[in-house]
Structure 1
């Protein structure tokens, strides 16, 4: 599907996206694209994302990695999850945290 191709191309290069949760202003969030989903860590010494909760519907706004202009808005469902060790290591590497101090990990899955 076209949206998946666009998201995949953009999110492979993006280190941050804008997430809008219901009832909250858009928030710039560090995220990691992996396994066709966007991974977001929150709490502890990590970022806070007001309104992000298990099963919440959010809007993810992606900017072009080359021009930084608006590229696409996509709806995603957040799933609170416990990452496997390989994914946890990828998240630590992406955030440069050798000792993770996050309280929650969300896997954002996009609607087709």
Structure 2
């Protein structure tokens, strides 16, 4: 099964995954699967992910939203994203608390 299919299936049910930027500890993050990449909002009222920066290699770990068992570790590269209106609206709409104020958004693109 391709990584995109695994991520798509898992992230339709749960919006949390582990991100490990190179040289840093894993961090559980809220994320949005969109257009073949994972969007992660950081700063402001959003989460802090030390080491996440443009061009940084990361490992994305996905667990089953129902059994919490390990599904996949996938290598990715973080790219700072300039979101269009549709992506920004989708990111805000996906937040459970309805308040999304971020400083940066990164697209985790799979290699």
SS at match of 1:75: strand
The aligned counterpart of 1:23 is 23
Q: Is 100-109 or 49-58 further displaced after alignment?
A: 100-109
Q: In structure 2, what is the Cα distance between the partners aligned to 1:41 and 1:97?
A: 14
Name the CA distance, whole Å, in 2 between partners of 1:101 and 1:25: 24
Q: 1:43-58 to 2 correspondence within 5 Å?
A: 43-58=43-58
Q: How much has 1:98 moved relative to structure 2? A: 4.9
Unaligned runs of 5+ in 2: none
Corresponding position: 1:109 with 2:99: no
Q: TM-score, normalised by structure 1?
A: 0.91
Cα RMSD, aligned residues only: 1.5
The equivalences for 1:2-13 within 5 A come to 2-13=2-13
Shift of 1:65: 1.7
Q: What are the ranges of 5 or more consecutive residues in structure 1 without an aligned counterpart?
A: none
Q: Structure 2: how far apart are the matches of 1:12 and 1:34?
A: 10
